[in-house]
Structure 1
Amino acid sequence: MRPLFLISRLSVNYIGKLLCFGLLFVVYASITTAFASPSGYQDDDITQGTLEYFQQNQVIQAFALDTQVSMDVSGLLNRVTVKQVFINDSDQWVNGRYLFPLPETAAVDSMKLRIGDKVIAGQIQPKKQALQTFETAKKQGKQASLLQQQRRNLFTSDVANLGPHEQLVVEISYQQKVEYRDGVFSLRFPLAITPRYNPQAESTTEQPQLAMPSSANTTTVKHVRPELDVKMQVNIDAGFELTSLDSLYHPIKQSNVGNHYSVNFASKQIADRDFVLQWQANVGAVPQAATFYQTGKTHVKNNSIEREQTALRQPNPVDNNMYSLLMLMPPSVEVSEQHLIARELILVIDTSGSMSGQSITQAKQALQFALAGLRDIDSFNIIEFNSDVTLLSATPLPANSRNIGKANRFIQSLEADGGTEMRSALQTALVDSVQQDSDQTDTRSDMLRQVIFMTDGAVGNEHELYQLINDQLGASRLFTVGIGSAPNSDFMRRAATMGRGTFTYIGNESEVQQKIEQLLNKIEQPVLTNIGLYYLDGSVPDYWPTTISDLYQNEPLWVSIKSASHQQQPIIVSGNINGQYWQQQLDFEENQAAKGIDLLWANAQITSLELYKDNASRDRVNKQVEALGLLYHLVTSQTSLVAVDVTPVNPLIDNPIDVQLQPHMPHGLNAAQSSQVLPQTGTASRLWLLIGFSLLGLGLLHYLWLRQRLPGQLLVIESHD
């Protein structure tokens, strides 16, 4: 018997395979980390800014964009005009595309194309027809512009045949309400877009697709991140003296003459975070109810040419309807301790890659303040999600010091990475986390179940999530908290509406404590429930939204109404306050004349129709939305505005250059400076790295074992003669 120190050919092959597989996994993980876009993001997702292209191995800046925003606030209404100045600094004829955000509540009704001294008004057309009109003009060498809605808060502006060293102005206008809650007036203008994550799994729910003009002759481009020049002018006619006027995230200059206030950016601003302006008045200066009206439509047809009319000065002779906007502040209600209802608070936090940087810091602070606001009678749970879903506990925990300490340690360990698989998190929050033992049923059946969902909303499968909320909400209430400098507020506001809750926006760490405490105090108990409207004679007006969410403390009721001008009569608003029937009569004695009220009514109807659209109703809803868009001259998911100059100007129509404009990443978001994708958002790169290094380690250990390099090891292979 003699020891032999041998390495067989089989062992060598085995080691080689382990090392090869390990290296493959590591290389694959590195590639997917560097190019995280394909699995989670699409090439046509969300861009804005300026662009350079290659010509003869030289980088040439082809396009620049100057954005000018003007707002005119009158009482509770805001008329906004956005001018996009496209500048072609090259020697080439170019076609340009700019994808940009607007407020999700904006009723976009006007687009004008300015070429030198010429002004061409946009015509409303069905979406496919408008796209064809634009494509035809582009091929004929005509200058044209096209405005399309891609999401409720995302629009594309396309221009065709912009000549060398020429500039072209696209002027867009929209109507919206001023936000009013907790005694604070506010308006918000989005200036950046967080890239959206699209789950890899196939969905049966139709998702909106970006409808883009063709780019068959597109030249290879290099995206850059310039300082996008944005100018902001806000004029406020509040109707009363303001006690404060503040911009939350941008430095401003302000002045006033009496009750008229003017606000401008103090300096050039980069479009990397939303602009939010807030103002307050003395207590008692703000009315508890307000109504605005307009007779006839804003836009009328005359000789087949769309032109904007002021309905107050020149009413539409065909449409004699009266359009009204109603704002009513329900009475304040003090909830005594004996009437407080125990609640089960489910806190959901998004820890995907898009939440990296300041967003995850704000969200973790928000969770901690939410825990601090729990009462002894409450229970809670925490759900964190990215590519996977993790729960603090399998069942909700009593709100005692031991469990809150455990939860705070859980929060401290959270990091932002991975994909935004929101569907699994929502399903867990609305269904899975309510699983309970039979002996807990009686204890928790009387609890008010509330889900607070903290995220930037950077997802592309919104309609699938709306359907999930509608199907599985049950008795829960869903409250959304927008985190970061540019959250997807359209998704979050609509999700909260379907969830019978509210939407809160947090854009800075200094706001976290105040806004979370306000939210928790507000949602202790709804103030007004089962809200309805009817005329004094018992008939029901044509009002939107038809389903009105519960109102919480210091939140107003907003309703848009259409009625025949000869049938004006008082309206009764009714509901329940603390289980008691309540009603208030509005006589419209102090009706205020205003412009654009019809646009708000039509936009509210479109929003309601699309909110509950499913596979069965899709075709019907799309036809209704198209009809409303054409009738009220609104840009919708089914209608677009197109403007074409009749004179061909481009002699080189066979060789244009198509360019797309590139964005700043939202302020505070950690992302590679050379890419527009989020860190590891759409990939399982950490898993592949772990597998790869594990295989490399196993191969190395096996090799060392065979070579007797491990401590205390002796390899003895006996040979029998």
Structure 2
Amino acid sequence: MTLVQSLKRQVGGLSVEVPNRPPLVFPLQHTAVNAHIAGNVSRVEITQSFANPFTTTLEATYVFPLPDQAAVDEMELRLGERIIKGSIKKRQEAQQLYEQAKQQGYTAGLLEQERDNIFTQSLANIQPGESIEVMLRYTASLTFEGGDYEFVFPMVVGPRYIPGITIEDERMGGGTAIAPLTRNQDTDLVPDASRLNAPILPEGSRSSHDIRVTVTIDAGMPVQRVVSPSHQIQVEQEGQTLRVQLAGADTLPNKDLILRYQVAGSNTQATILTQADERGGHFALYLIPALQYCPDNLVPKDVVFLIDTSGSQQGDPLWKCQELMRRFIQGLNPDDTFSIIDFSDTTRQLSPLPLPNTPQNQARALHYIDQLQAGGGTELLRGLRAVLNFPLVQPGRLRSIVLLTDGYIGNENQILAEVQQQLQPGNRLYSFGAGSSVNRFLLNRIAECGRGISRIVRHDEPTADVAEQFFRQINNPVLTNLHLRWEGAGEPPIMHPPTPPDLFAEQPLVIFGRKADRVSGKLHVSGIAAGGKRYQQTFHLQFEATGQPAIAQLWGRARIKDLMNHMMSGETKACVAAVTHTALDYQLLSPYTAFVATSEEARVNPQEQAISVQVPVEMPEGVSHVSVFGGAAAGALPAMTATVTPAPESLRSFSAQSIVQAVVQSVDRLVGSNSLPQRTQPRTVRLYAVSSPGGQDAESSFVSETVGERLQIVSAAGFAQREIAQLTQRLQSLPVPIGFHGKLVFEFQVANGRVSQVVLDELGLNEQTSTVKKGKGIVIREIRRSLLTWQPDPSINTTVRLTLRLQ
């Protein structure tokens, strides 16, 4: 009897039969969420209940979302009456402890962070018929906008589009194949793609998994107008405390819970929370300046709209984006100019140049919007480059870029790095997410990098107020040139963000700080208000051990976020070490730390066969199965990790590259045409790209050639001579720009035939004569990509320190 046949006999009612695929199994039975809100801070406990329906030992893996700025600081397992507290470890160490426990028959849990808003819970050695609970706890700040406090709890990870060359294709000599939508294969652009996409349930089916949410609001003053645009809720009130629960008919985990409420009193009052312990004094400042938007100070602006028309936008999400676009076009000021670019596999544009805001051009734009259709992959980088390079007719005019997308991609860092490097000073990027479970991490962070704002709009939410508020904000910031100054003894506090952004109407200023010596002092906040008036406010800070304990965790999370922002273009040793140190010191989950918990004794026979199951999840509400999987018969991605196969060829949504762009990708990773490419053997490429139109991409203007013997491996500590020879051969065929020389030092992990966490040691760029430092973005990116897509001998398990010299 095969494993699949055995499963079909054992699973019973806890499975869904999909033709020609293994059954979908549901070890996750229930999720309970209990949130307590006090002032600006929420403390949330999540209990995930897993059960093993088999007569065989089970390992379950569940990919799930959390808020993108959640400070996750606790994880526990409950085995019957016993509670096993998880320990925070360096991620590699936690993984090793988990694998060791699994192999020895111990029950173990491993909690890892894949993205700021995507997490993986693994449970090994669940006994037949046994139920296990996993408890997670996190702290987060509430958002405030337009007079409303907003609590959000995401429930499902939407299917991520994975661009790039699959690593298997790279090994086989393919050079231009692009990964299809939601394909669970690692690529050169998304090396961890296989960890991002959970199996999706077939259309028309659902699992036994449900969710219960209870939110207790203790605002310290009367709460008004509690509403949820996403769910049916039940509200109970006792004094000034409110208890909000999901209605019994709305417990399907397929959309973000959004809860909004107002409190009585002034919305402009500042809130200061402090905490002190052996790590120092911590504070959080929440300030909503009582500043009004001034319509008399309108500045003519140039607005370029970038709208996502990929397959996942089909139906309600695209209709909502079109509705928003119509309101945006009709709400522009008379002296504004505008254009529209839409993207999927390709990009199109309303006009080659910005258009004056005339009735004729508005009509032209509205017709263009009405004709938009969804389909293909989410090649956001292509669209972003098109809009960042869109001509500016009147130099000096403020350009505002408005992005509308669900953000369902896996290469977030590549997108954010592009914004950091290419957005011109003075320009702004605003992001709008349309849908029930959008990628809030990408949308929030891209707006932060773009010095703009982000807003999430459900596909069934009215747009009139959204558009009106957006124009109040986009027409002019209400507070600019913000500056923080500390007055007091000792070292000044470390604050995040270190440089506050400009504030828009009804937008709060949130600052987290840590003062190591806990000495009191004053924080001065100053800036320029609309109309040129000077704004200043002073806050007295005292650090007491009886303060709010969650503030320390929020500072740690803010510091990790700021450090990670410095590594959008690639990891560096100093920043990785700083993130790891902060995460361990504050007991926080991060990309480099993980929680692990193991039972005290072996509970199963490790010699017996075990089953590994990945928990299938619901398709986010409003997202079309057909548009994502490409056909009416499309179902979920397979749930059995041992038998995972890609979707059938007919269900894939491919992009490709022209020959010229395949060459240029060695320098700039540009994505090109729509035709399915032929497999080609690896070849040596020499490219002389002496210019680019309009200065569209400075990196493309570098002359590139095969490195050949110019690139030498000085040392490779951790590798034997055989691996050094293989790596030398690989790197010497790598096209990089000529005209650079110097030394580079990388550290990376090798295990199971893969390279991971390629970290640049910037101390290796210390030679005065080195020109690699000047152009390191190009050189380092190509070397890093070559290392990540290399597949060494699977038997090697080591840490490598690689020193290279470019002659």
1:382 aligns with 340
Describe the SS at the equivalent of 1:535.
strand
Task: Determine the structure 1 residue equivalent to 2:132.
Answer: 168
- Which residue number in structure 2 is paired with residue 489 of structure 1? 440
Q: How far, CA to CA, are the matches of 2:622 and 2:337 in structure 1? A: 33
Q: How many Å apart are 1:517 and its aligned residue?
A: 1.7
Distance 2:22 2:295 in 1: 72
Shift of 1:222: 10
Instruction: Please tell me whether residue 402 in structure 1 is matched to residue 366 in structure 2.
Output: no
Deviations 1:500-528 (A, max 9, x none): 00110001333322112211111110111
| Partner of residue 499, structure 1 | 450
The alignment status of 1:191 with 2:122, answered yes or no, reads no
- The answer to whether the 8 A contact 2:84-2:599 is kept is yes
2:522 is matched with 570
Counterparts of 1:103-182 in structure 2 under 5 Å?
103-182=67-146
Spell out, residue by residue over 1:349-371, the C-alpha distance to the aligned partner (whole angstroms, 9 max, x if none): 10000111210010000100001
Q: In 2, distance between residues paired with 1:534 and 1:193?
A: 40
Q: Is 1:453 matched up with 2:371?
A: no
Once residues 625 and 588 of structure 1 are traced to their aligned partners in structure 2, the CA distance between those partners, rounded to angstroms, is: 26
Distance across 2 between alignment mates of 1:624 and 1:361: 44
166-175 or 322-331, which deviates more:
322-331
* Aligned residue among 528, 534, 553 for 1:599: 553
Shift of 1:449: 1.0
Q: Quick one: which amino acid aligns to residue 598 of structure 2?
A: V
What CA distance in whole angstroms lies between the structure 1 residues aligned with 2:15 and 2:553? 35
Q: Mapping of 1:190-589 within 5 angstroms?
A: 190-200=154-164, 207=190, 209=192, 225-268=206-249, 269-282=251-264, 284-286=265-267, 288-296=269-277, 318-319=278-279, 321-337=280-296, 339-431=297-389, 433-436=390-393, 444-474=394-424, 475-537=426-488, 540-564=492-516, 566-578=518-530, 579-588=532-541
After superposition, give the CA deviation of every residue in 1:470-497 in whole Å (9 maximum; x if it has no partner).
1111031000001111111101111100
Question: Which residue type is aligned with residue 364 of structure 1?
Answer: Q
Task: Flag the 1:527–1:482 CA change in 2: closer, same or farther, 3 A.
Answer: same
1:80–1:175 Cα contact (<8 Å) kept: yes
Q: Which has the higher contact order (CA 8 A, sep 6+)?
A: 1
| Cα distance, 1:616–1:637 mapped onto 2, change above 3 Å | closer
Question: Using the alignment, how far apart are the partners of 1:622 and 1:208 within structure 2?
Answer: 18
AA in 2 matched with 1:193: V
CA distance in 2 between partners of 1:414 and 1:60 (Å): 36
Native 8 Å contact 1:194 1:354 kept in 2? no
Question: 2:801 maps to what in 1?
Answer: none
Q: Which amino acid aligns with 1:529?
A: T
Q: 1:624, 1:419 → 2: CA distance?
A: 36
The answer to whether the 8 Å contact 2:114/2:195 transfers is no
Tell me, in whole angstroms, the C-alpha distance in 1 between the residues paired with 2:674 and 2:480: 48
Q: 1:631-646 maps to which residues of 2 (within 5 A)?
A: 631-646=585-600
Q: Structure 1's 205 and 471: CA in aligned 2 closer, same or farther, altered over 3 A?
A: farther
**Structure 1 residue 445: Cα displacement:** 2.8
The runs of 5 or more residues in structure 1 that have no matched partner are 1-49, 214-220, 297-317, 437-443, 690-721
Paired residues of 1:420 and 1:681 also in contact (CA < 8 A): no
Partner letter of residue 589 of structure 2? V
- Aligned-residue offset at 1:585: 0.5
Q: How far off its partner does 1:666 sit?
A: 0.7
Deviation for aligned residue 1:581: 3.1
| 1:656-688 Cα shifts (integer Å, max 9, x gaps) | 100001111110111146424799773269977
User: Structure 1 residues 515-524 or 248-257, which shifts more?
Assistant: 515-524
Aligned twin of 1:95: 59
2:39 paired residue number: 75
1:561-588 residue CA offsets vs partner (Å, 9 max, x unmatched):
1114541011101112133432110124
Match of 1:675 in 2: 635
Correspondence 1:604-615 to 2 at 5 A = 604-614=558-568
Deviation at 1:153, TM superposition (A): 0.3
Classify the secondary structure of the residue corresponding to 2:561.
Answer: helix
Contact 1:205 1:463 in 2 (8 A): no
Deviation of the 1:132 alpha carbon: 0.5
In structure 2, C-alpha distance between the alignment counterparts of 1:435 and 1:522, rounded to whole Å:
22
CA distance in 2, matches of 1:212, 1:399: 46
CA shift in 2, pair 1:519/1:614, >3 Å:
closer
Which residue identity lines up with residue 497 of structure 2 in the other structure? Answer: P
1:17-70 alpha-carbon deviations (Å, 9 max, x no partner): xxxxxxxxxxxxxxxxxxxxxxxxxxxxxxxxx86699xx99595623211111
Q: Which amino acid aligns with 1:228?
A: H
CA shift in 2, pair 1:58/1:499, >3 Å:
closer
CA 1:619/1:207 → structure 2, altered by over 3 Å: closer, same or farther?
farther
Q: Aligned partners of 2:463, 2:25: CA distance in 1, in Å?
A: 41
How far, CA to CA, are the matches of 2:655 and 2:195 in structure 1? 31
Root-mean-square deviation (CA, aligned residues, Å) is 2.8
CA–CA distance in 2 between the matches of 1:96 and 1:174? Answer: 22
**Percent identity over paired residues:** 29
**Alpha-carbon distance change, 75 to 205 in structure 1, aligned in 2, over 3 angstroms:** farther
CA distance in 2, matches of 1:387, 1:206: 16
Equivalent AA in structure 1 for residue 540 of structure 2: D
Q: What CA distance in whole angstroms lies between the structure 2 residues aligned with 1:348 and 1:127?
A: 37
Give secondary structure in 2 for the equivalent of 1:78. Answer: strand
Which amino acid in structure 1 is aligned with residue 219 of structure 2? Answer: A
The DSSP-based 3-state class of the residue aligned with 2:32 is strand
What is the CA distance between 1:286 and its match in structure 2? 3.9
Query: Secondary structure at the residue paired with 2:521?
Result: coil
- Is the contact between residue 57 and residue 125 of structure 2 (CA under 8 Å) also seen in structure 1? yes
Task: Give the TM-score taking structure 2 as reference length.
Answer: 0.71
The 3 A distance-change label for structure 1 pair 65 and 616 is closer
Give the gaps of 5 or more residues in structure 2: 1-13, 166-175, 179-186, 627-632, 638-646, 657-672, 677-807
* Structure 1 range deviating more: 646-655 or 481-490: 646-655
Residue pair 2:293, 2:478 contacting (<8 A) in 1 also: no
In 2, the alpha carbon distance for the partners of 1:120 and 1:649 equals 14
Distance 2:593 2:22 in 1: 40
Distance apart, 1:248 and its partner CA: 1.2
> How far is 1:79 from its partner?
0.2
Equivalent pair of 1:419/1:681 in contact (CA under 8 Å): no
| Letter paired with 2:285 | L
8 Å CA contact 1:150–1:211 kept in 2: the answer is no
**Partner amino acid for 2:300?**
A
Give distance in 2, aligned partners of 1:644 and 1:536: 48
